[in-house]
Amino acid sequence: MDKFDRQLRLWGKHGQLELSKAHICIIGNTLLASEILKNLVLPGATKFHLIKETSYVKSDCFLDVEDLKSINEHAEFNEETWNAHLMGNQEYWRYFDLIILTTRDVSVIESIRCLPMPPMLACNWREYHGYACFVSQEPHFVTECHRQHKSPDLRIDKPPQPLLNFYESIKPSQLSQEQLNDLPFAVIIYHALKSLKENCTKIDRSSLRIEIRRLHEKTLPGPECLNFIEAERYLYLGLQDSEIIPDNLLKCFSLASSECVVPFNSMFTDMISSLKDYLKHPSSEHQLPLSGLIPDMESSSEMYNAIQEAYLRCASKNLNTFADIVTSHNASVPLSQIKNFCSNVQNVRGVVPASHIPTEQDCRTVKQITPAAAAILRKLVKSKHELETIRPSFVESRDELRYYPTCSLLAGIVAQEAVKILTHQFVPLENTLIYDGKAGQVYRVKL
Amino acid sequence: MADLADVSILVLGAGGLGCEILKNLAMQGIPDIHVVDMDTIELTNLNRQFLFRESDIGQSKALVAARFINEKNIMGLGGRPVVVTAHFQDLTLLDRKFIERFTLIVSGLDSIEARRFMNMQLVRITFESRFEKCIPFIDGGSEGLKGHCKTIIPGFSACYECSLDTLPAKIESYPLCTVSNNPRLPEHVIEFLMSVQWAQQHPDRDFDFDSKEDLQWLMDEAHARARQFNIDTSKLTPQFVLGVIKNIVPSVASTNAIIAAQCCTEVSKLLYNEYDIGEAPNFLVYNGDDGCFAYSFVHERVSTCLVCRESIQ
């Protein structure tokens, strides 16, 4: 067994690889930074660049860099002190995959505020309150959002030619009672729809149900047929329009017009423009590439294998057509990415991050939507003066100890979002989270 | 609440959540912390259980966790050093007297039965002391990028049993006729081997999940049966098979950090009299699958609850 087994089940070996090679820069020698670092070293990130403020005060972290090295001996930690001249230049930042801003030093924040930076997570906390904000100059795209419950992609309403051939190869009227009991529900729904169309009956939920039952009756009397029960349960799949492009994908279409620097995002936008061409291609029949994945359906092993094969064959045909188009746009997109895109195309997502590190100005916008959240955000982004009075090391003041979990919670959220952003798996925060531990509330706002 | 320097907290479980809870409580300055866990450290714990190293594999989680924190020499509330005491044992064998000495109990367990046991004990303590003694019980749970935190004030707010219906039902099962006659998925194949074929071939003993030979038997038979029914065998890796038979749930450091921290924030609010019983949300759910979703609410007591109903009468 692999040490990472429990998380490979979430983001797979390819996600793990992205995480292990990502170059992460953490700004601020804070308690929050130490907790975030721990939460990133544990799942296997290895390349860290740590920037300490010049107003550096040693805070009493639970784990220091030596402890972290003992968690993962391959992890590298480059430590550097803030240098306004060097780091006030955008060139300095461009090689990082992700920046995590934890510092409370306003001069540091001000010097990078206006620079075009790689994707960044800005965060801060105080007492029971905290915020985390995903900042980026470009949209963020996700191919694998890992929805736990997906609607099956079967195209029963308008099967593309290869699927149509399969469905037409089965003639329910010529089947014995036993063979009818073996029909997967998709076949039942297809033929029910077909006979409705032939009789020019209006297709809706109830007419389709009646038609499925009519077919079901042919198997009676006999034992209960699970496949017909499934057909009724899934009949909504027959009422879908397979030419409709889902909203999440339309959002990606509109976001894909922006110029992207992050390699994954730019590859994704190339695939989106290829997809537009694909939909105009005659063999697509105005439908998205088929994923080929089908749900389990009550039927015999042979029958199930046959329908699965039909879907996989059609999916692979779609994939080839799509891959040709992508390659003609950009030959450097790896086939594994094209394949991944095709099998997830119904569920791809685009997220709009905040364009800048939150300011007091933003609090006014937030106030109109959630006043409680605005008050917290204001406290956390507020003027220079107040922030400097917060002691980075609060261990001497005993009362402050009670707030440690807020720091820990925020570090968990920031690390989780960091992994999502770096692997482009799971949908990250869009785009700001405000935590109120006192009231036990979490607010999400778009800056 | 009592004088902060006299606070003692019992932590149930020293796993993914337990390590985080122990670290937080130590950093919160809780001087007297006890931890109970009957598990030993395994390789697959190390992606999140940061109090353990590879050299600790096979040792007691509770003992190693306690040693790690004690070696940090953290100064706690009232000038007392933070001391963690380990109990390498089954928590359902803890006696009432032992449980009664704690100010608060925080749990980071994966077992529902162990939580129900502790919940019942704590509700009894409140009732039998005629509400003189009440030990709050804070329960965290996590799976993948999801988790929850429940704050239970036994006898006063919804107990663990009151919200039992919020838990998902047990693992999905497949009809026997499918797995034996019409297997279509690799899961069907494994289910048949585990529930039918093993007993036929080994009537004398149960399947041993820790035995290499038994797992090899399962892998070989699974491939053979999958081929027989033309089922794609590429999915049948040892990781997949183990995941199915042991019902392994994914687990990551970040979710544990979030849930454990929420539990410990509840500890702080209770200790510093910032918790409003009955008004404060006592149930928080977190889901990081799609964006960062968290929602908290007041879970009401259930008047028919078999554990805590007597005081409502």
Check: CB of residue B139 under 8 Å from CB of residue B120.
no
pLDDT score for B269: 95
A59-77 exposure pattern, b = at least 16 Cβ within 10 A, e = fewer: bbbbbeeebbeebbeebeb
How far apart are the C-alpha atoms of A30 and A53, rounded to whole Å?
A: 9
pLDDT score for A390: 41
Check: CB of residue B75 under 8 Å from CB of residue A395.
yes
Catalytic residue status for B149: no
Residue of A247, A268, A246 whose CA lies nearest to A257 = A268
Superfamily (CATH) of domain B176-246 = Ubiquitin activating enzymes (Uba3). Chain: B, domain 2 (1.10.10.520)
Residue A279 carries which DSSP code?
Answer: H
Check: CB of residue A103 under 8 Å from CB of residue A122.
no
pLDDT score for A226: 86
**Contact at CB, B261 and A71, closer than 8 angstroms:** no
Check: CB of residue A346 under 8 Å from CB of residue A291.
yes
**Contact at CB, A38 and B258, closer than 8 angstroms:** no
* pLDDT at position B200 over 60: yes
pLDDT tens-digit readout, B213-257: 999 999 999 999 999 999 999 989 998 998 888 888 899 999 999
The helix (run of H) or strand (run of E) holding residue A433 is strand A432-436
Check: CB of residue B75 under 8 Å from CB of residue B82.
yes
Q: Compute φ and ψ for A100, nearest 5 degrees.
A: -120, 115
**Contact at CB, B43 and A411, closer than 8 angstroms:** no
Selected residue of A148, A401, A426 to mutate for chain B interface (largest B Cβ count, 10 A): A401
A316-348 exposure pattern, b = at least 16 Cβ within 10 A, e = fewer: ebbbebbbebbeeeeeebeeebbbbbbbbbbbb
Check: CB of residue A374 under 8 Å from CB of residue A91.
no
Residue A257 carries which DSSP code?
Answer: T
**Contact at CB, B284 and A148, closer than 8 angstroms:** no
Asked: is B8-167+250-297 a CATH 3.40.50.150 domain? The reply is no
Residue of B89, B105, B210, B208 whose CA lies nearest to B160 = B105
Which domains, ranges and CATH numbers included, belong to chain A? 4-136+353-445 (3.40.50.720), 161-238 (no CATH), 247-349 (no CATH)
- CA torsion through residues B215, B219, B220, B225, sign: positive
Euclidean distance between the first and the last CA atom of chain B, given in angstroms as a whole number: 27
Q: Contacts of residue A127 in chain B, CB cutoff 8 Å?
A: none
Check: CB of residue B235 under 8 Å from CB of residue B186.
yes
pLDDT tens-digit readout, B115-165: 999 999 999 999 999 999 999 999 999 999 999 999 999 999 999 999 988
Beta strand ranges found along A28-179 (DSSP E): 47-52, 76-81, 98-101, 120-126, 129-135, 140-142
How far apart are the C-alpha atoms of B220 and B206, rounded to whole Å?
A: 18
pLDDT score for B311: 52
How far apart are the C-alpha atoms of A433 and A410, rounded to whole Å?
A: 10
pLDDT score for A385: 43
- Compute CA distances A42 → A61, B16, B45, whole Å: 16, 11, 10
How far apart are the C-alpha atoms of A322 and A340, rounded to whole Å?
A: 12
pLDDT score for A394: 44
Give percent of chain B above pLDDT 90: 76
Would you list the domain boundaries of chain B? 8-167+250-297, 176-246
Check: CB of residue B52 under 8 Å from CB of residue B64.
yes
pLDDT score for A398: 67
Over residues B277-292, mean pLDDT: 92
Residue of A118, A436, A89 whose CA lies nearest to A260 = A118
Could you give the count of Cα atoms lying within 13 Å of B209 in the half-sphere of its Cβ?
A: 8
Check: CB of residue B115 under 8 Å from CB of residue B87.
no
Token pair in block for residue A6: 């429990």
Q: Which residues contact A261 (CB under 8 A, 6 or more apart)?
A: A118, A137, A138
- CB-closest option in A147, A408, A430 to B291: A430
Residue of B152, B119, B145, B134 whose CA lies nearest to B266 = B152
Q: Is B43 on the interface with A (CB under 8 A)?
A: yes
Q: Contacts of residue B172 in chain A, CB cutoff 8 Å?
A: none
User: Which residue is closest to B275 within chain A, CA to CA?
Assistant: A438
Residue type, B123: V
* Predicted complex ipTM: 0.93
pLDDT score for A320: 96
How far apart are the C-alpha atoms of A432 and A447, rounded to whole Å?
A: 7
pTM score: 0.94
How far apart are the C-alpha atoms of B178 and A169, rounded to whole Å?
A: 25
Instruction: For residue A434, list its beta bridge partners.
Output: A131, A443
Binning pLDDT at 50, 70 and 90, where does residue B1 land?
Answer: very low
pLDDT score for A388: 39
**Contact at CB, B182 and A299, closer than 8 angstroms:** yes
pLDDT score for A404: 94
Sequential pLDDT tens for chain A (447 residues): 789 999 999 999 999 999 999 999 999 988 999 999 999 999 999 999 999 988 756 567 899 889 999 999 999 999 999 999 999 999 999 999 999 999 988 889 999 998 999 999 999 999 999 999 999 999 999 999 998 888 899 999 999 999 999 999 999 888 888 888 889 999 999 999 999 999 998 999 999 999 999 888 877 776 678 899 999 999 999 999 999 999 999 999 999 988 899 999 999 999 999 999 999 999 999 999 999 999 999 999 999 999 999 999 999 999 999 999 999 988 999 999 999 999 999 999 999 999 999 998 899 888 888 999 999 999 998 745 444 334 444 444 567 789 999 999 999 999 999 999 999 999 999 999 999 999 989 999 999
Helical ranges in A141-262 per DSSP H: 161-168, 177-181, 185-198, 205-217, 226-233, 247-255
